[in-house]
Structure 1
Amino acid sequence: MTNPKFFILTLFLISSCITSLQAQLGFCGGNSGDPIFIDDFGSGTTDGPELPAGTTTYNFTTGTPNDGDYTISSTTNYFDWLSLQDHTSGDSNGKLLLVNASFTAGEFYHREVSGLCENTTYEFSSWLINLSPAGSCEGISIPVNVRFQIWDETDTTLLSQGDTGSIPNTGSTEWEQYALVFKTEPGQTSVILKMRNNSNGGCGNDLAIDDILFRSCGDNVTITTAADEASLVVCEDQGSVSRTLTATPDSSVFNSHAYQWQQSTDQQTWVDIAGENSAILNTPAVTTTTYFRTKIAEDIVNVNNDLCNVVSDVFDITVLPIPAAPVSNGDVTICEGELGTLSVNTQNSYSINWYDAATGGNLILSDDRNLEIGTAGTYYAEANSTEIECASTTRTAVTLTVNPLPTIPDDSNAFLCENSFITLDADIENVTYQWSTGATTQMIDVTEAGEYAVIVTNTNGCLATRTITVIQINLPRIDKIVSDGPSIVVSTANSGNFEYSIDGISFQTSPIFEAVQGGFYTIYVQDSKDCGVVTEDFYHLVIQKFFTPNGDTVNDIFEPDGLEVFNSVTISIFDRYGKLIKFGNANSTSWDGTFKGERMPEDDYWYLIEADSIQFKGHFSLKR
């Protein structure tokens, strides 16, 4: 009879083993090596070829795969399945493995993978997708659910397994990758990969598989220097350089570490560095760009087997060549007041710095192939690396010449007399002319007011613009001339800088002439710009505004002045009621303020003077 305690312990150990083996899928937690086995199922438009014997119990078909069938094809256009390309990047008519699950769950793929290394951790991965469209099978489509298993080469020891879990039919055409990590045992160089359906077939559970991959799995290994450099960039003129590199594995996979350092000039071909098998490398002195890395494995016997090892990060020692001096695009000539653009060409990987001297000097502009500047002189362009200070040994000179502008008079005003013309002069010689009127001569005649511009261009092609504003001066237009007591007042119908005269010789700016004796006058009005004179004849009759007949001999008589120039004169004086108080002719034009010998009272009185064909009317005051 079996010992009950032994039986319980046995169950516990079996249970623990199964739990360990049924771990979840997962990727290598460290650094994955290069692929050592890959099956992308080839390419072409013809279905097949059939998987090797013993790989599957499913039936191979070159037509539509029914339940329990599989095919290898470049198309998924069967049933109502999703139409998609294979997962392998870059191939044309790439093929994939199509599996229509059998009605009974179980194994559908079985393959041995050999050439592995003993006592080494590996990552298996594959890409899967559910081919059933969303909503198929009236919404109850059977999901895809695959179990991956890695067995030893005797097919008796399960090394690792994991399930994808249910992959529903969402209608997505995005492939998903699933992975499983396992470790070979001592003396073991082959394993068996198995794929099993966890769900029965029927409506749904239709899948595609592509890019089955095995690669080693090891630690992540970083390479640093004592200065914590991850890489090094130097200039060629620094001579040879070297560094002490330290490899630091994260021990996420390996329990022990074996090393083999390598170097390369192109990161394609790597050469072992003899005797360098520790975590530290004193690099050889290099004068050209060189790359360093170390291969790493858990066991010294595996470090040089690329099926067993992984590689570290790469430490770059980049030696930059000294740039050639940039090539000038030519000297530049501009006109005063403009900006010139000096430019050079160089390789795209270099930047350009501008200086004011061939050596040393001041930095004017950095990292620009074009220098925009307006000051005449020679400027120097230097090519430099964008990564570190690694400059061309010489600088390229580019000269900016600044030509002067034509010297022109300031903008000005010119005055145009009404109904006349004026000649405008650019007032500069030995240049070409372009007037806003279209004329190309130095001088032009204009008859209208306005703004006239002339562009003058000298022999250097530099130009300047002068503007002349033409202002029209209109002749005065006399509106009226009136006598205001002894004054003559002139009014014009337009405005201007007018001058006035009553003799044509002496002019004044005031339109009022004061204390002028009565008589015949010619009134002259002209503009101050000498654009002409207008005249008008005027009879100036001086009428007192009041008189005071009080016997003091001062202003005792009302007597208009200026009537003597007329041949025939009559004068009538009325009171406010229209009564005729005085009537006289050329021989009796004055009034002493009496009527029939009686003094008239203080009041306003009206006069009517008829002189030849002219009438003068108005009123005056009598004051006692």
Structure 2
Amino acid sequence: MRFILFLFLFSNFSVAQISPDCSTAIPICNNTPVNSGTDNYGVDDFNGNARSGCLERTTSGAIESNSAWYRFRTSATGQLGFNISTDIAEDWDFALYKTNDCAALGEPVRCNFLDNDDQNSFLGVGEDPTGATNNVQYEEWLSVVPGEEYYLLINNFSNINSGFSIQFSGDIFITNPYDALDCTIISNLLGPPIAACESDFIMLDAATSDALSYEWYRNDGSGYSQIIGEVNATLNVLNSSAYRVVVNRAAGNSISDVQVSFTPNPIANPIQDSYFCFDDLTFELNSLDNEVLGTQDPKAYLVTYHATFTEAVTGVNSLANSHIKAAGTETIYVRVSSFANPKCYDASQDFQLIVSEQIVQDFPETVYLCEAISSAIIGDDTPNANFTYAWSTGENTPTISVTDSGVYTLVITTTVGSLVCSASFNVALVISKSPKITGVRIDDLQADNSVVVSTELAGDYEYQLDDEPYQSSPQFNTVLPGMHTITVNDLEGCGIATETIVVVGFERFFTPNGDGINDIWSVSGLATLDTPILLIFDRYGKLLQQLNSSQTGWDGFYNGIQMPASDYWFQLSFLETDGSRVTAKYINNHFSLKR
């Protein structure tokens, strides 16, 4: 949050208060217009030193070149800063000293000696009031408590002198808007200098209890001239100038001077409402500055934008220049304030940012059509009444019925004001066939049997073994020997396929040599089948042995003759639930007899 207390710049600073010496520093406080220039330098307040903080000797041979000194006292706790406004072609420096004694300045608590190659219009402590974040001529905020006294040196290094003005800033002017700075530092019958806006009513009051008469004078730059006819204790002021009152008293005359300055009120020109499509994420608010200012000098006024009228009036919480928009209508309030005196402002205008509704694809990008169904509905089945729809097929409804696979394009359009906003979306129709199992690879390894299912198409399928949960992989591991049911389900609802398989467990070889170790070849899992018959063949297809649930092993003999070492094959059949005998599918294994 940035709060600016005041700023005032004289085009003719010769009438402004100025002191080139610390010992005669100009006291300033709340509502004090600080505006001046530098046309000389007085005594060397640094006793010939070459440096003071960041300040160095200038072309004058001393630290001070064309200098102006000010002093102030704090009355509140919080954050304090100030902005010094200058011509962008000039080079100004400053140093701030925390002291109440010019003879003991010490080192400055804030200091800036950088040149103005960037042509900034402000330097100081805190934040650049233009919102610039890369101004190297700014120092950190100052934390203050009541009763602290400071001396401020402003020095012109370039010797090109168009004058300057000072504005104070910081949160102490929010918590203490009328007494952040102590005005008792100024001892003057007419009080501190007055900064006013052109429409303000200003009355100077010199009322004194023992006054005999009053004389009023005005100085427009060529010395004080009496204002004929003004003899009252008060004077209504209409013009910027330096004023003097002479109070004639029996005990002796009193003289008091005061500076009064009026700043023109800025004018905020009307702004047209702005329309946007939702995909324009940000809007640069400062692009409207010229429209707001019209023919007014942009160097003389600050334009800020606010979310509420109250914030625009108070000048707080200005919106970021890169404003993030939201769908719908948003009212933006405009404030134009004078750099010369931010109390002079206009917050009478506002405008609207009107953003279209966001167009999103809240309907499926891919639609599956089962081969047994003739057509499918694609598109937005919950349409927005403010949108229009146009398909690549030429149809203009939110949804359409399609029969052929392919990609269909839908353009959704809406309007905001005279602005047309649209977005294009693709919807793919995929013909999905019912799953078909074309093969099952069974790896019978006894300890870890695995089953891998193959399908006719690479569809969007899930797989199940018996009553186990479905899985996305077609491979099942650690499958127990016995009969199992494989199920393939199409996730798009286009059907299922099942297959009954038998997993057998057997040894890859046996050695019937009578040593009692691995003498018998057998198959595990036969007991899980209904009336199993296992046929063993030699490599030429000759039937050698028939096994069943009663006789489950083979000793390697055929008709009492030992069979030679070789590979042998087997075939398994069993009864289905309907009583029919079937041969187990996907079993095409062999084993070895070793001697």
TM-score higher than 0.5: no
TM, length-normalised to structure 1? 0.33
Q: Which protein shows a greater Rg? A: 1
TM, length-normalised to structure 2? 0.34
